[in-house]
Structure 1
Amino acid sequence: SRSLTLVWQALWWHHFFLLWTTIDGQTRYSIPEELKQGSVVGNLAKDLGLGLSDIFDRKLRVASEAGEQYFSVDAGKGELVVNDRIDREALCGQSASCVLPLQVVLEDPLQLFRVEVEIQDINDNSPKFPSNDITLEIAESTVVGVRFPLESAIDPDVGSNSLKSYTLSKDECFSIRIKEVAGGRKVPELILAKLLDREKKAVHHLLLTALDGGNPVRSGTSQISVKVLDNNDNVPVFEKILYKVSIHENTADGATVVETKASDMDEGQNGEIEYSFGAHTSDIVLSVFTIDEISGSIFLKGKLDYESTSNYEIDVSAKDKGSPRMEGHCTVHVEVLDVNDNAPEIILTSHPKPVREDSPNGTVVALLSARDLDSGDNGKVTLQLPHISQFVLKPSFAQNYALVTRGILDRENVSEYNIEITATDSGSPPLSSKKTLTVSITDVNDNPPVFTQPSYNVYLKENGVPGSILYSVSASDLDFGENAKVSYSILDSKVQDVSVSSYVYMNSDNGSIYSMHSFDYEKLKVFQILVQAKDQGSPCLSSNATVHVFILDQNDNAPAVIYPSSAALGSLSHQRMPRSAKAGHLVTKVTAVDADSGHNAWISYRLAEATDSSLFTVNLYTGEVRTKRAVSEQDDSSQRLLIEIKDDGEPVQSSTVTVSIMVEDGLHEPILDLRQKAVEPSKKTGRITLYLILSLASVSVLSLVTFLILAVKCIRSSRSSGSCCMRRSDCDDYKNPNRNLQIQLNTDGPIKYVEVLGGDMLSQSQSFRSCMSPMSEYSDFTLIKPSSTTDFKEVISVLDASLPDSTWTFESQQVSKYQPFILALKIQYDGGEMSTVVLRGSISPPLIESWKWMLCTNGMQSCTKRSTPCPFAASALSHL
């Protein structure tokens, strides 16, 4: 019912205000009730120290905990004005103090002010009796001084405007007396001042008037009719005028509340008593309590709720069965004891806003408060967060809290927090409730794009089509939105003193790299592209990766003849040989080179045409032209040979050279004459021979001593520097770093041809030097290595045949520590066999013993990796 709601609200606000009145520094206004809409309460902006601009900029709003919006703010003047009719009695009931708490919330940044508006009572209600007509039956034998309780008038006003006094119309038999009961309530009692005489006056008509203390005074009246009865001149009398009892609000239905007891001096029916509630007992009492007519015991029949009604006053009547019936009265005061039966409640004053992941500690996320309808310890509430949380609750005042950040936020790890807040009261047992707040973390550009690889290797055939795609790189960004959008670009660098952008271009959206023109392996073997991935954040972040482009050789160069040189004589080379040449005589040697690499550079020689094909033969691999048989007198003195030179590429490239051989008589005769003359010794020759022998012996001894000294120095230096090497700075090949170094050794020995290939990822300029290992068993072997300090990432070439690996060593000149190194050696044997030795390792003291040797034979069909340490590497690299 509405009256129950008003009482509950009054009690709730009463306890709430008691808690809030302890807060210092709050803004408080006092206004009378029933003000017109638009009435000014006070200048809120001025009193809170705010400017008029703050009302708009910071979105000032006023929230009332009463649920109804009684006030608003005039945005133009900053004044707090009445928004709706305020009825103090509806808000606070009979509470002496009526304070309406307001919460003034400012956004950006969040700020909360406490404002209280005291509603002052005006005398707008007249006292009113529950009934306008009261009928009493009093026996004539009733003694003087007997009191008869009357109905109390009700005045909703409080303070001086509340009910103050009662007056009774003039009657010689009756007077009025005011009795104050618990709670300050004034109850009128009708007192018999003179014995009644039914025969003189059977009915007395009295007017009871209730007056309040307002100005002007308001009043209410009730008509009392007293019927005078005869006989039964004793009234029932209760053992106690007031019964006080306490009961818990969770007491079960049917429990005995109190046992009242009355007695009557009369006998028979005049002394038999029946109990009942007073005639004017409220419906609230009747819905909760019941009384036994015979015993006078009061029982509980409904649910008690301390939060709705904390105490009851029950008027109990005891009537006898005489004629007229006599009636006695007592009052039962029932105090309801609070039980912790209400869970605490979490109220959001301001909903959480998204938080930047770089927000500092202490950033306010949301404002909230807690309340519990119970009283005492049952109404004391504490809020808690999980132990492991990026947020913390910071108390402000009167169970109001601010949710603030604590620790580092990272959207990439957690983009949204579901914060579970637990409210627990101090009751026994304690009750709790939970509320989940969702806080979104907004992205900050704190993660650079990351490539899938720090470097990429791309293998591209030469002579490709311009505009074709070389490779596609990809990078990802852990951020969100614009911060995660990646664009690609090529950083400016030089390739053979030309900007790399002249060679390639890049699609900024997908990271695809395209060629600007075709590449020539003979001019450019390897180059690098430094690519950058940049996000769209502010400020933007970026990362780099290196794309190593290896140009793969294609057979696009025909062999070029170096010897015999035909530049001066056109396409014809003239050679001479004696007619006395025997079989196997070396006539000449054709030497050719191929600008290509690998298989494409393997050269073979073939005799295509000859004046006499039975006389000459050409070595397939060395190009040596020898006689197949002895020259006879019948052979023509002029021989013509057409030699075809082919490479091993696909398709095959070839070239030819024409050799003209003149067979002449007597070329050997001067040599024979000299030999014959040398056979005839003379005396002078004998002396000279003796001198020569002595000189040779002296030189040999000196050479031996010199050799021993050099050997000792070499052994000592090998412990610190690794090898004894002879530098060749004046070689033409050293001056041309872009061509492969080709060395021919020991033309009469087994090795005819050595090709050394080195791979450099960062520079096109290679410098080479040769070293002879003192531990090698083959004095014909020459090791070639690049002295560049850059990385060698891939094996340049792997060729056919086999070669013992135990004789090969090399030493470092300026290679930095932990630098990967790859070296490929191609050796051509007499008889057509080819071999390749690939050395691969890391030039670093901890890895000296871990060189990997790879021997490939039979056209790379069979490869064997050997981990045998280089016999000379340890001493050669000990100086690093």
Structure 2
Amino acid sequence: MNLLWGDSLVTGQLLRLVLLHTAWEVGSGQVSYSLPEEFKQGTIVGRLAQDLGLEVSELVPRMSQMVSKGRGDYFEVNFQSGVLFVKSPVDREEVCCQSPLCAIDLEVIVDKPLRIFHVEVEIQDINDNAPVFSVNEEKLSIAESLTLPGSRFPLEGASDADFGTNSLLTYKLSPSEYFTIKVQTNEEQSKSLILVLQQSLDREETPEHRLLFTATDRGKPELTGTVQLVITVLDVNDNAPSFHQSSYKVRLLENTADGSMVIKVNATDLDEGINKDILYTLRGVTQPNVSATFRIDSNTGEIRVNGELDFENTKLHEVRVEATDKGNFPLSGHCSVFVEVLDVNDNAPELTITSHSLPVPEDAPPGTVVALISLVSTFKNYHSLVLAEAVDRERVSEYKILVTARDEGAPSLSASSSILVPIADVNGNAPAFPQPVYTVFVKENNRPGAHLLSVSASDPDVRENAFVSYSVVERSVGEQQPVSSYISVHSESGHIYGLQPFDYEELQVLQFQVSARDAGFPSLCGNVTVQLFVLDENDNAPAVSPPGSGRGSPGPELVPLSAGAGHVVGKVRAVDVDSGYNAWLRYEVQEAGAAGPFRVGVYSGEISTTRALEEADGPSQRLVILVKDHGEPALSATATVSLSLVESPQAVKWDSRQRVGSERPLVDLNVSLTIAICSLSGLFVLVIVVYVGLRCHPGPEVMCGPGKATVVCSSEVGSWSYSQRQSRKLCVWEGTAKNDLMVFRPNFPHSSENGEAGKGQILTPNVSGQVTS
């Protein structure tokens, strides 16, 4: 009994092993199918039974079944026919998102014996998704005229849920003469869309641009998505107020009451906001009493009588009205109002003086009739008041003459009358500047629109003959850049503004002329030279090349263990494109405690030993060298130097010889640099003496017209000359020329933020237009 029980136990264990072996025949069959997404329900994928090597008639008896592994129930097997077909359409983007490989794993299990077959259905992408933008309308705001062509504005691209070629997008912008699209690829192969401005915008012409931005994929067929770009042009004060008429004519009786309206003038401005708000003022009146006779409402433009009109004093008044907008840089428009005063019989018929030529031009010749004097006693008793000699308005502006008529009776009787003879101005004086040359020092990277300096000219004439306007004498700077692209001059105030930041590394001196022109006829002008010196700022960090880069070998420096104290093992080379102290470099070990037996030259960059080397120093050393300039604040860079200690001196023989031969240019450069600094200090004292002498001795009068000048600048640290070719970089690598010169920029602790004009006559132009010191 016990024996039979033991036999049956062994038999059961054997049967269990056989069944387990049969069940683990996993992977004995593998079938792969490929199917485009979105196929309709019932589409046949493949003849599964045949592909697995099974008889169709065995599928049902062997209790076959199919299981999907986690991707959804999208397929079904007809076990009567052995066909695998689509149960429901598959959306690849829903099942696999953006995965490169999208496959649905299935398992077919058959019994008797138990076997498991793996079936993989790869879902291929079709172009069933159009590109989609995140918004339907993208808005941008761009300022007119101030935004330069070439300006860039980033745009949001579209997304495509498809994969591969079906998701590759191209972009197109509706035709526009102002904008274009550029696709930019960065180092990480990421693409960004840039909207590029091709020409300046004008809000008054087109206040808003609407463009259709289209994204197209590369599928077949192509699908597209669009977004509306709405670009609003922001207003800039680039339109001056304009009157409806350049002149108005009004007739008034001389007894018109005080406060009566004369006329209402109106000006319009095409800008918007405060740029179109207008203030009215009376400017440039032609008679001295006009400002006391009329007044204007600054908001409405209504001109009213202010006092009394007198036909016998003035028959015609010319009132000039100026309309000024309220922009940051206000612009103005002008018109003239001619007020003809009509006579009223308000004077007793006694001694009468009738003015004929008032005011009298200052260039009127002697004998010119000023007025007629008539007496009531006889119709033929007329006398003429004439000029006895030439008059000069700048010396005497008006004459008050008392005319007395006395008879010869006894006692004699008399009647008196006075006449005011104003002398009218003639444009005989050109605007003149108080000095021939203005000098201003401006730090680079100045703020655009910053005030640099002001020039002012005076004209001893009056009214329009003394109304001075300023402008820049246009010329080319550098590569055919107009000087007006760097600076602008306010036509009325003479304020000079910088339109763009200056870069000392590109432009050190900008010399131009400002013209002052009066409003007389014919107009006269005077010119003045402005010298703008750009001062260097420490805006460039040192650029470091590690030891060995000059030899074409970036490997570590080899140092013999036999090297004694002071042995030069390498050099750090650096250059700074700034000037003066900003380019003067200093070398030091970043972590002094980690330098070991090595040190670095403060100004040479040479790495040398501080003592004899020992085996305990290890097979290699790694130094981090900090290179700093002398600017404020100082900028720096670091270089890592690897030093390998070797036994044989022959291993570094050739490298040491090369290094010794390459150090002399740097030593000579340091000597030249020291001599240059001492020379600049000596020249500073000399320039101060010359400057004081020029201040005490006025130069000749400035002639109108541009001239070519040799520029010499004096400053607190010395003087230097600018020629057609300038050496501005100090190089400290091998082969540097010995005659390189470091030029230190002047230091002005009390100047304004953007610049301060020099008031001394440092340069004086002669008649030929050349400038001499």
The TM tier, using the shorter chain, reads 0.3 to 0.5
Report which structure shows greater RCO (CA 8 Å, sep ≥6). Answer: 2
**Structure with max Cα Rg:** 1
